Structure 1
Amino acid sequence: MKKPELLAPAGDLEKLKIAITYGADAVYLGGEAFGLRASAKNFTIEEMEEGIKFAHERNKKVYVTLNIIPHNDDLIGLSEYVKTLENIGVDAVLVADPGIFSIVKDNTKDMEIHLSTQANTTNYQTAKFWYDQGVKRVVVARELSLEEIKDIIDKTPEELEIEAFVHGAMCISYSGRCLLSNYMTHRDANRGECAQSCRWKYYLVEEKRPGEYYPIVEDEKGTYIYNSKDLCMLKHIPELIESGIHSFKIEGRMKTPYYVATVVRAYRMLIDEYLKDPENYKPSEKWLEEIKKASYRDFTTGFYFGKPDDKEQLYTTSSYIRTYDFAGLVLDYDESTGIATIEQRNRIFVGNEIEVFGPNKEHFVQKVEKMWNEKGEEIEVAPHPKQIIKMKMDNPVEKWDMLRMAIENN
């Protein structure tokens, strides 16, 4: 049985390092142009180089998105850019457009090319066509069932890798090819500027009754008619692995480092647990509960087991559910004293109950008994963003471990 790749989003350099530390086999990221997340911090070439070095030292991979649907002006500078990506050691690029595909082929010696989900691949003949052109991997459209994906795998060359989304936001438009944002805000979703208009509140207005707003459902607050639940396939790790999908993709380059760590950790633990002993594997609800400690919408399995119905939509709100706050990131730990150096991310008070978690291990709970600032002065609260503090820990911790607090304890 093949071990699948766990592929995580990296919206910036810190998220890249956290994703890899918490168990991702590869990350995907965008540069300052040509990718579909214009609002993310994205990467300069220098940051990419640092991220690639960090990943390659740990035998992990870095993929760069070039998956906009380009207009003529968007192609300016692309030839030089892809040459630079190859020179700094990028492992693959993701493309959705034949023009960008041809520019990559013509300007690199042996760059691995992945076909983005934006290309809407929904059948084995299309997948085979792109393989024949030189594509190494196809990211299939989110609108496929597991049976359809298995059929594509069975009817395409074994060397062609299939990647599929397993977790994160779902799009109301077909695999992200959306005109709604452009129409509503003049921000082109297909060029990286999506305003998430599908998450807005909408009312119905009849043509001859301007100014009379009717809720689409019986709710005085209106309705979010386009708003999908989030994809979560954590309970279906065996089916995903047995299908032959090569890469399990997590959505979320705009999400927080805490979100990335929480979700990657849960999928890593369950993938490894299943592969260790498939016959006796029993999925634990605790990992689903762990994922819910990061902000989330209600979950759906999307199209994997049939076409979604109205139960897969959220008609009442576009807000995320948030029950825990990211409190701090461990920078260092002194084994002789049991004291950790922590970068604060949300206010911490002496007396707070915190949970501490890290890659490949269970979390533990403790009360904050004492804290010190950088000068060694004892403090009752750490109120400043990214304040460096020291804290006595009940159990050993490591760099990159995280602290979180239930919101009611804040």
Structure 2
Amino acid sequence: MEIDRTPELLSPAGNWDCARAAVANGADAIFFGLSKFNARLRADNFTDEDLPELMDFLHAHGVKGFVTMNTLIFTSELEAAEAQLRLLERAGVDAIIVQDLGLAMLCRTVAPSIEIHASTQMTITSPEGLEFIDSLYKLDRAVLSRELSLTEINKFHPSECVPLEVFVHGALCVAYSGQCLTSESLGQRSANRGECAQACRMPYELVVDGETVDMGEKRYLLSPQDLAAVDLIPELVAQGVVSYKIEGRLKTPEYVAAVTRVYRKAIDDAVAKRPSTITKRDRYAMEMTFSRGLSTGWLAGTNHPYLTHGKFGKKRGVRIGTVENCGPGWIVLNQEGEHGLKAGDGIVFDAGENRNLEQGTRIWKVDGDVLNFHRKHSKINWDRIKPGIVIYKTDDPKLNAEVKALWKNAKLTPLKDGLNIKATGIAGTSLTLECNGISVSTSEILEPAENRPLTTELLVKQLGRLGNTNYQLGSVENQVEEGLILPVSALNRLRRALVEKLDQQAAALPPIEKPISKRTLANIMPEKVTTDTKAPELSVLTRHPHQIEAALENGVKRIYADFEDIRRYKDAVEIVRAAGGDATIHLATPRIQKPQETGYFKFIDRSAPDGVLIRNLGAVTYFAEKDYYRTGDFSLNCANPATAKILKERAALDHLTLSYDLNIQQLLDMLNQAPSDWFELTLHQHMPMFHMEHCVFCTFMSEGTSYKDCGRPCEKHQVQLRDRVGQLHTLMADVGCRNTLFNGRAQTAARFYNDVRSTGLHRYRIDFLNEDATATSLTLQAYQQLLSNKTDGHLLWQDLGVMEKLGVTEGTLEVKS
């Protein structure tokens, strides 16, 4: 079947008003969530009861509806997910946007008429990764990661591959979608479960080599500007990208209306290959409805300081100018740009201070360049207002009314069936109309006309009067003998008779019932095979050569190496080989692989390890035919047995690291419904929270814009970020200059060990960060005591609390109360 590659505008809808705003302003499709299994649980969302009405509304207006099921699914939720998929199919939902590999397979199994759109949460960053996912499901669409540039997107060959969807407007997550564990690690609110706490929008302090750096007004080190790719639409259309996605299910209907309207113009202009029809007022409305500053994100290429300036982390509006002079209740404005100020507008004074302390108010009166404020109601501390302070316009009531009218006053006319009518008759007979297999005739006779004969024009005019019906006129085929006449009243009666018969025909038709799949969840679940319990094994992930040496000295048999500089992988292999014995060395791929980065895999290949720790979908494809032991790491998000089965059987992985999103009960549920021999549990680690294309080193420690001119401060300094509660977190860069922020407190599963061990799980892992040789050995020995039953988890917990500088946490493993 030929793929429809007509460009599609996809708008967000967190509620009914947003859905209407999207439809009224030209969306081809909307995406929305229900009360569970969606990555925006804070949106109003729709209920199961809303679905039939919503889908009828959308389809009546020629708009598609996509449901977001873009979260990880836990074992105990699979039956509920199956029920929801069947509900979506019955309601006529066009597609689901899905993250979880097992859920996508479940959809293909139990609701095959629903399209599968691979979410950006799947972290599809390379053609190789897309190839693997498409091999599983024959995807209907893939939503690419937001970190890809136009050049990188073009490497997918968009006009030939799986139809591609690209985010073009809205908030940018600083971490790769599907790879952010920050909210989960710090507060058990997983971004992979729709509970993101937006830790990236908080202030951080930069600590370099133990010293806090004075960053001035730059406090929001992880908060990128919002994405606005409106000027890049022509290039994306030319490449063959199919869908253009606007982020914002938590935004207002005014935001949806204003932004949808702008991108409708941009796409139509690009398709027609005409100059842009977007006005300055359009752009102003787009920025005022919501922005943290607008940028082209990663689409135009890497420019770290441009993307994340660090000055604020929430809605800002439009920069208007600076304070030239001031006094109690007034300022003289040094105006910038074309969007002036008027009475009633809201402003904020940006003095580069703590954003929780900054001052804002509404303008009372404008007198030229002088802005006056109501002394009684503005509540401004004028002693803090100084010349040079920047002013942003944060609210424009007049614009708000204009934008609200774009959806509130819009007349939404449903699409109607186009009737193709054939008219026949000769002198002395009736006029007959035929349409859709129905025939009606007049009781009046066609007679020769002295004037106003029955022309095609007259037939079209009278038969087209279908305003209050479910139909509109498509075409009229006039086969009436020329020069005949019929009273207009008779023609009108005939039209009404045709409509009545068409309505009767439609009512008599049985509803279109989609075949109900007889396959169920059981068809995709693995068989729980009970095997002889194996002795526990402890593996170690190392990030420095001295940690490998400590692991060897303590008898560890499986060693993973995850070095920032993969050129040192050969040294890692040599250290293990030189030690003799039966220890094996497994090299970690980067978390992310972009187009034309298979060179990283080739370097691992040339290093000749015993195995590979696979962290991304592209690596699954590359190493599929290689003769290595292949371990799937946590970043593959294995959170339920159905996903595990796919990764074991279709990705041919030898064993899998259990997802870091699982708490202890969810982990036990998983192990009790899938072979325990498939898995490995990370017992101890500093949780990798943010994994980012954004480079803090380049942005705030250099004068450069990318790795080409930053001077590589990451190689010269030890860097930490201090959060707002005073906790220090370690920042590291990888081979691709991607940054990972590691939780400062180590997480341990020590107290849960006996429960997990009772399931038969025998593989356990410790991940080290920057521990020296002594700390590495002490930690290893402590866990070896646990695995050999020479201590218990509670005692080890207490010992670790003393050994670790900042103590330990059970973090993501804790069960919410």
1:248 and 2:251 equivalent? no
Name the SS of the counterpart of 1:27 in structure 2.
Answer: strand
Larger Rg: 2
Q: Residue 167 of structure 1: which of 161, 166, 169 is its match?
A: 169
Q: Take 2:64 and 2:223, find their aligned partners in 1: how far apart are those partners?
A: 33
Q: Take 2:204 and 2:78, find their aligned partners in 1: how far apart are those partners?
A: 36
Call closer, same or farther: CA 1:140–1:206 in 2, change over 3 Å.
closer
Using the TM superposition, give the Cα deviation of residue 255 of structure 1 relative to its aligned residue in structure 2, in angstroms.
0.6
1:153 and 2:149 equivalent? no
Query: Does structure 2 retain, via aligned residues, the 8 Å contact 1:184–1:197?
Result: no
Using the TM superposition, give the Cα deviation of residue 398 of structure 1 relative to its aligned residue in structure 2, in angstroms.
4.4
Deviation per CA, 1:160-209, whole angstroms, max 9, x where unpaired?
Answer: 2100000011111112521111222221111010010000011246898x
Q: Residue 285 of structure 2: which of 286, 290, 293 is its match?
A: 290
Q: Residue 14 of structure 1: which of 6, 14, 17 is its match?
A: 17
Query: Does structure 2 retain, via aligned residues, the 8 Å contact 1:3–1:241?
Result: no
Return 5+ residue gaps in structure 1 as ranges.
Answer: 328-351, 364-385, 387-396, 401-410
Deviation per CA, 1:76-132, whole angstroms, max 9, x where unpaired?
Answer: 411111001000000001111111111111111322111000111112232233333
Query: Does structure 2 retain, via aligned residues, the 8 Å contact 1:225–1:314?
Result: yes
Q: Take 1:64 and 1:198, find their aligned partners in 2: how far apart are those partners?
A: 26
Deviation per CA, 1:357-383, whole angstroms, max 9, x where unpaired?
Answer: 46998x9xxxxxxxxxxxxxxxxxxxx
Q: CA RMSD in A?
A: 3.1
Deviation per CA, 1:275-321, whole angstroms, max 9, x where unpaired?
Answer: 33x15457644432231231211111111121231221031211212
Correspondence list, 1:190-339, <5 A: 190-204=192-206, 214=212, 216-219=213-216, 223-276=219-272, 278-281=273-276, 284-322=279-317
Q: Take 1:398 and 1:44, find their aligned partners in 2: how far apart are those partners?
A: 25
Question: Which residue does the alignment assign to 1:99?
Answer: 102
Call closer, same or farther: CA 1:280–1:197 in 2, change over 3 Å.
closer
Using the TM superposition, give the Cα deviation of residue 354 of structure 1 relative to its aligned residue in structure 2, in angstroms.
3.1
Letter of the aligned partner of 1:192 in structure 2?
G
Question: Which residue does the alignment assign to 2:381?
Answer: none
Letter of the aligned partner of 1:241 in structure 2?
V
Count of paired positions: 334
Q: Take 2:198 and 2:182, find their aligned partners in 1: how far apart are those partners?
A: 9
Q: Take 2:397 and 2:303, find their aligned partners in 1: how far apart are those partners?
A: 40
Correspondence list, 1:322-401, <5 A: 322=317, 354-355=398-399, 357=402, 398-399=410-411
Name the SS of the counterpart of 2:155 in structure 1.
Answer: helix
1:143 and 2:140 equivalent? no
Q: Take 2:102 and 2:179, find their aligned partners in 1: how far apart are those partners?
A: 17
The farther-off stretch of 298-307 and 5-14 is 298-307
Call closer, same or farther: CA 1:138–1:55 in 2, change over 3 Å.
same
Using the TM superposition, give the Cα deviation of residue 69 of structure 1 relative to its aligned residue in structure 2, in angstroms.
1.9
Call closer, same or farther: CA 1:303–1:292 in 2, change over 3 Å.
same
1:118 and 2:115 equivalent? no
Query: Does structure 2 retain, via aligned residues, the 8 Å contact 1:128–1:156?
Result: no
Letter of the aligned partner of 2:83 in structure 1?
E
Q: Take 1:297 and 1:317, find their aligned partners in 2: how far apart are those partners?
A: 7
Q: Take 2:41 and 2:6, find their aligned partners in 1: how far apart are those partners?
A: 33
Using the TM superposition, give the Cα deviation of residue 72 of structure 1 relative to its aligned residue in structure 2, in angstroms.
2.0
Name the SS of the counterpart of 1:266 in structure 2.
Answer: helix
1:34 and 2:37 equivalent? yes
Q: Take 2:276 and 2:310, find their aligned partners in 1: how far apart are those partners?
A: 36
Deviation per CA, 1:226-252, whole angstroms, max 9, x where unpaired?
Answer: 100101011222112111100000001
Q: Take 2:260 and 2:186, find their aligned partners in 1: how far apart are those partners?
A: 34
Letter of the aligned partner of 2:215 in structure 1?
E
Name the SS of the counterpart of 1:249 in structure 2.
Answer: strand
Letter of the aligned partner of 2:205 in structure 1?
Y
Q: Take 2:25 and 2:248, find their aligned partners in 1: how far apart are those partners?
A: 15
Query: Does structure 1 retain, via aligned residues, the 8 Å contact 2:159–2:239?
Result: no
Q: Take 2:190 and 2:19, find their aligned partners in 1: how far apart are those partners?
A: 26
Q: Take 1:354 and 1:31, find their aligned partners in 2: how far apart are those partners?
A: 34
Q: Take 1:257 and 1:194, find their aligned partners in 2: how far apart are those partners?
A: 22
Name the SS of the counterpart of 1:152 in structure 2.
Answer: coil
Percent of aligned positions that are identical: 34
Q: Residue 83 of structure 2: which of 70, 80, 85 is its match?
A: 80
Name the SS of the counterpart of 1:174 in structure 2.
Answer: coil
Q: How does the TM-score come out when normalised to structure 2?
A: 0.38
Using the TM superposition, give the Cα deviation of residue 222 of structure 1 relative to its aligned residue in structure 2, in angstroms.
6.1
The farther-off stretch of 134-143 and 147-156 is 147-156
Query: Does structure 2 retain, via aligned residues, the 8 Å contact 1:36–1:67?
Result: yes
Call closer, same or farther: CA 1:217–1:139 in 2, change over 3 Å.
farther
Return 5+ residue gaps in structure 2 as ranges.
Answer: 319-340, 345-395, 413-817
Call closer, same or farther: CA 1:246–1:64 in 2, change over 3 Å.
same
Call closer, same or farther: CA 1:97–1:76 in 2, change over 3 Å.
same
Q: Take 2:111 and 2:248, find their aligned partners in 1: how far apart are those partners?
A: 29
Query: Does structure 2 retain, via aligned residues, the 8 Å contact 1:97–1:119?
Result: yes
Name the SS of the counterpart of 1:110 in structure 2.
Answer: coil
Q: Take 1:280 and 1:14, find their aligned partners in 2: how far apart are those partners?
A: 32
Query: Does structure 2 retain, via aligned residues, the 8 Å contact 1:172–1:226?
Result: yes
Call closer, same or farther: CA 1:319–1:99 in 2, change over 3 Å.
same
Letter of the aligned partner of 1:146 in structure 2?
L
Q: Take 1:127 and 1:288, find their aligned partners in 2: how far apart are those partners?
A: 34
Deviation per CA, 1:202-222, whole angstroms, max 9, x where unpaired?
Answer: 1246898xxxx94x5532x66
Query: Does structure 2 retain, via aligned residues, the 8 Å contact 1:22–1:358?
Result: no
Q: Take 2:22 and 2:134, find their aligned partners in 1: how far apart are those partners?
A: 29
Call closer, same or farther: CA 1:116–1:321 in 2, change over 3 Å.
same
Question: Which residue does the alignment assign to 1:134?
Answer: 138
Q: Residue 187 of structure 2: which of 185, 188, 201 is its match?
A: 185
Relative contact order higher in (CA < 8 Å, ≥ 6 apart): 1
Query: Does structure 2 retain, via aligned residues, the 8 Å contact 1:153–1:162?
Result: no
Call closer, same or farther: CA 1:47–1:296 in 2, change over 3 Å.
same
Q: Take 1:217 and 1:285, find their aligned partners in 2: how far apart are those partners?
A: 38
Q: Take 2:19 and 2:179, find their aligned partners in 1: how far apart are those partners?
A: 26
Query: Does structure 2 retain, via aligned residues, the 8 Å contact 1:6–1:25?
Result: yes
